[in-house]
Amino acid sequence: MEIFSSVAIAVHALSAIIWIGGMFFAYLILGPSLSMLSPPDKIHAWSEIFPRFFQWVWMAVIALPATGYAMVFIDFGNFASAGIHIHIMQALGLIMIALFIFLYFIPYKAFLRAVGAQEWALAAKNLGTMRRIVGTNLILGLITSAIAETGRIWA
């Protein structure tokens, strides 16, 4: 059981790093760097970036709850025995996943349709919506990470 717990912790941590780190990079570094491009070029760049990044996010969206729940049951036996910080992390994680699923199926799909139709204003509008959602998820992810690292102390 100890090996499984170690693997779950590693996969959980790596999944969080990939998702949150990717959002951090995209939101704070890549996005501002692409602002020097013309709107169509910027939109084309994002249309190439998102599919690659979203592959990894989908893996994280599956791995994080799977490993998180595994750790709860391995380490605590059930949620009733887990500290409040675990419950907070679960709630924030589920909100993050819901926001990503919304982002992927609503503004991202609309973004792709607009890019395909070369409707740059509509693509930019959807890109703006996606940016706000990513910004929100980035904040939630950073808060969740801080709780993960400090929760054993204060909870």
| pLDDT tens, residue by residue, 67-82 | 999 999 999 999 999 9
CA distance 130 to 125: 9
Tokens of 3: 């090996």
In 3D space, the residue among 30, 47, 54 whose CA is nearest the CA of residue 114 turns out to be 47
| pLDDT tens, residue by residue, 94-121 | 999 999 999 999 999 999 999 999 999 9
- pLDDT given for residue 111 in this prediction: 98
- pLDDT given for residue 155 in this prediction: 87
Contacts of 104 (CB under 8 A, 6+ apart): 54
Average pLDDT over all residues of the chain: 97
Kindly state the average pLDDT of the residues 3-10: 94
DSSP state of 132: H
Kindly state the average pLDDT of the residues 25-39: 97
- How many domains does the chain divide into? 1
Residue 60 has pLDDT above 90, yes or no: yes
User: pTM score, two decimals?
Assistant: 0.95
Kindly state the average pLDDT of the residues 6-24: 97
- pLDDT given for residue 121 in this prediction: 97
- pLDDT given for residue 91 in this prediction: 98
Residue 18 sits in which domain range? 2-154
pLDDT band at 154 (very low <50, low <70, confident <90, very high): very high
